[in-house]
Structure 1
Amino acid sequence: MNKLITAFLCFFVIQINAQEETDTTTFDAESYQKTLDSINNSFTYQYGEVVLNNGLAILNVPKGFKFLDSQQSKRVLTDLWGNPPSEPLGLLFPEDMTPMHDEFTYAVEIEYADEGYIEDEDAEDLDYDDLLEEMQEDIKAANPQRTAQGYPTMELVGWASPPYYDQDNKKLHWAKELKFEDYDVNTLNYNIRVLGRNGYLNLNAIGEIDMLDTFNADRDNILHSVEFTPGNRYSDFNPDIDKVAAYGIGGLIAGKILAKAGFFAVILKFWKFIAIGAVALFSGFRKKLFGAGKEDA
C-alpha cells in the first residue's frame, strides 16, 4: 500500500477515534471529498496537438479525451497508483475521468520502447491460437517466481480481442483477459503498438473486463491519434545504420521482451488494483465510515 493511501486511512481513523462520541459523518465525508478534489484539481491537462518525446511522435488528443504530460503521469503512476518508477510519455484519460475518480473506467498509458525496427514478415503466418497457448504457459511458468517476489499469481484467460495488424499503417492491437489471484473480477489489458523506425510506441489501457465495449468504441479514435514524425516512421528505416529488434510481430504480442528484469514491474503496472483498486479502497472505506450513519438516520 503506497504512502498516500496509508496517510488517508490514518487520517480517517484518527478522526473517528478522536470524535467517536459525536456525529462526525458530515465532517469526515467533506474532508474525504475535499482531499480527493484537491488531488484531482492539481493536474493540468492538454488538448489538441501534443509533441511527444522531443519530437519523436505527435499525439492529436482525440475528441472526448485529455492528456497528462510525462511528469504528471509519473506522479499518478507511482505516487497515486503505487507502480514502480517508470518513464511514461503521458496518460490519456476520457475527458470526464480523473486519476482518483470514484467510477474509474480506464486510462491509456503511452510509452516508447527503443527496441529497434520490428520486422513484420511473420504477421501473416501467425497462428493466434498457438500464440495464446504459448503465452498462457509462459505466464503459468512464471507464477512461482512472481509469488517469491511478492506479486500475485495471474492467469491469462484468453483473448478479449484477438490480435489485428494493420499492415498499411504499421499499427497492431490486441486485448488480453487476465485473472489475478484473490480477485473475483477479471482484468482487461488492451495493447496498442505503433511501429516506428527505431522502436515502437506502447499504448496500454487497463480496466475491468466489462470495460471492453467502452474501449472498443474509443479504440479507432485512439489508434488514429498518434503518429511518428518524419524521420522516425517505419518507412524511414535504413538497414545500413539502424538496429533491428531481435523479435517480430509474434514476439511483440507474446511479450518475450517482458522476460527481462522488468517483467514483474511491467505486469504490476497493469494489475487492476493499481488503476481501479486504489479508488475502490477509498470508496469502500468511505462507505464503511459513512454508510452506517446514513442507514441509521
Structure 2
Amino acid sequence: MLIKELILASLLVAASLTYAATPVDSPDSAENQGGVAEEAPGTGSATAKAFVDSLHFKTGKVVLGDNLATLNLPEQFVFLDSTDAERVLVDAWGNPPDEKLPMGMILPAGISPLSGDCWAVTIEYDESGYVSDEDAADIDYEEMLEDLKEQAKEDNQWRAENGYESVELIGWASAPRYDSQGKKLHWAKELKFGDSEAHTLNYNIRVLGRKGVLVLNFIAGMDQLPQIEQSVPSVLAMAEFNDGSRYADFNPDIDKVAAYGLGALVAGKLAAKAGLFATALLLLKKLWMLPVLLFGWIVKRLGGKKSAP
C-alpha cells in the first residue's frame, strides 16, 4: 500500500473508531496494568483499552536474561517483556519487525503506550566482548560529530539512489558523557528525516559488562528531550549487571575483548565500513498509523476465532 493510501485509510478508520490518544483519570486507572492510564472515552477507546489491557506490565525488580542483569524499577516506571515490547513497537508504533527481539522495554508509569505523550526505552544485549574504556579521556566528541555529519551526507547519496528518505544529523542533543565509576555511557543525537519539520531524538545509554554491553535506546521525539533528560539519571541507576557479569569481573585470561572502544560505541561500531545511516532502521513512534494497526489487530483477533468444521 502506498503511503498516501495508508494515510487516507488511517483517516477513514480513525473517523470510524474516534480514537483519542490522551489518557484521563478513571476510577480504576491506577490499577490498570501497572498504573497505565486508560484511553479517553469514545468508540475507539474500547479497542485501545483492550490492547493496553492485554499487555503485562511489571514493576519493581526485573531480572534480564539468564541472571545477566537486573532492573530495579522506581515507582515511576514499568517494564514490558520481549513479547509485549515487540507488540508495542510493531503493532502499535508501526516499526518494522526485527529478527532479534529486544529483551524488554521500560515505559513511564501512568501513561498509555498508545498516547502521544508516551516514550520508551528498549533494552538489548550485545555480547561482543569486554569493551575497554582506556580511550575515555582521549575522545574528541566535537571532532567525531563533524565526521559523523560527513558520513551521513555520503550515506544519504546511497539512500536517495535506493529510494529512501534522507537522514540528516543535526548535532548532539546531549553530548556524550561517561561515568567511569558506574561504567555507563550516554549521549543523544538530533536527527531530521527527509523534509519533516519535526526532528527525531536518538538518545542512547550503554552499560559496560564483563562480556558485552547492555544497549538502552530511548524512543521519543525532540519535544520530549526535557522529560528524557530528567529521567536519564533514574534509568542509568536502575540497570546493573549481576555478579559474574559485571565489568569488574573481567578475566583477561579467558574473556574476549571487543575490537572497539568507547568512541566506537558512540560513532557506531562499523561506521567507517558500513555507514551510519545507509541501512540503519531507527525505532520511532508512528502514531498516525495506530488506527489502521488497531483495526488490523481487531480483524486478526476476530478472524482467529473460527468455528469447527
TM-score by length of 1: 0.80
> 1:139 Cα shift?
1.8
AA aligned to 2:57 is Y
> 1:64 Cα shift?
0.5
1:122 is aligned to 135
AA aligned to 1:93 is L
- Does the C-alpha gap of structure 1 residues 265 and 96 become closer, same or farther in structure 2, counting only changes over 3 Å? farther
AA aligned to 2:108 is P
1:94 is aligned to 108
- Does the C-alpha gap of structure 1 residues 156 and 210 become closer, same or farther in structure 2, counting only changes over 3 Å? same
1:165-204 paired onto structure 2 within 5 Å? 165-204=178-217
AA aligned to 2:185 is L
2:64 is aligned to 52
In the alignment, is residue 63 of structure 1 matched against residue 71 of structure 2?
A: no
Is contact 1:88–1:111 with CA below 8 Å preserved after alignment? Answer: yes
CA distance in 2, matches of 1:34, 1:243: 51
1:239 is aligned to 252
> 1:60 Cα shift?
0.8
CA distance in 2, matches of 1:167, 1:90: 26
> 1:255 Cα shift?
0.9
1:229 is aligned to 242
CA distance in 2, matches of 1:71, 1:161: 31
> 1:59 Cα shift?
0.6
The match for 2:288 among 264, 268, 280 is 280
2:174 is aligned to 161
SS state at 1:74 partner = helix
AA aligned to 1:129 is E
> 1:280 Cα shift?
3.5
- Does the C-alpha gap of structure 1 residues 52 and 13 become closer, same or farther in structure 2, counting only changes over 3 Å? closer
> 1:240 Cα shift?
1.5
The match for 1:76 among 88, 107, 113 is 88
* CA displacement, residues 189-240 of structure 1 (integer Å, 9 cap, x when unaligned): 1110000011100111121112111111111111000100111011111111
- Which has more helix, going by share of residues? 1
Identity across aligned pairs (percent)? 45
SS state at 1:230 partner = coil
Is contact 1:258–1:266 with CA below 8 Å preserved after alignment? Answer: no
- Does the C-alpha gap of structure 1 residues 221 and 147 become closer, same or farther in structure 2, counting only changes over 3 Å? same
> 1:12 Cα shift?
4.3
CA distance in 1, matches of 2:46, 2:102: 28
> 1:56 Cα shift?
0.5
Aligned positions, number: 267
The match for 2:124 among 111, 118, 129 is 111
Is contact 1:176–1:188 with CA below 8 Å preserved after alignment? Answer: yes
The match for 1:39 among 43, 48, 51 is 51
CA distance in 2, matches of 1:128, 1:14: 45
Q: Which runs of 5+ in 1 are unaligned?
A: 17-23, 285-297
Question: Please, which moves more after superposition, 149-158 or 236-245?
Answer: 149-158
CA distance in 2, matches of 1:165, 1:74: 30
1:212 is aligned to 225
Is contact 2:129–2:257 with CA below 8 Å preserved after alignment? Answer: yes
CA distance in 2, matches of 1:162, 1:255: 15
Stretches of 4+ moved more than 4 A in 1? Answer: 5-8, 10-16, 258-266, 281-284
Question: Please, which moves more after superposition, 29-38 or 158-167?
Answer: 29-38
- Does the C-alpha gap of structure 1 residues 10 and 140 become closer, same or farther in structure 2, counting only changes over 3 Å? closer
Q: Which runs of 5+ in 2 are unaligned?
A: 20-40, 293-309
- Does the C-alpha gap of structure 1 residues 148 and 113 become closer, same or farther in structure 2, counting only changes over 3 Å? farther
- Does the C-alpha gap of structure 1 residues 139 and 263 become closer, same or farther in structure 2, counting only changes over 3 Å? closer
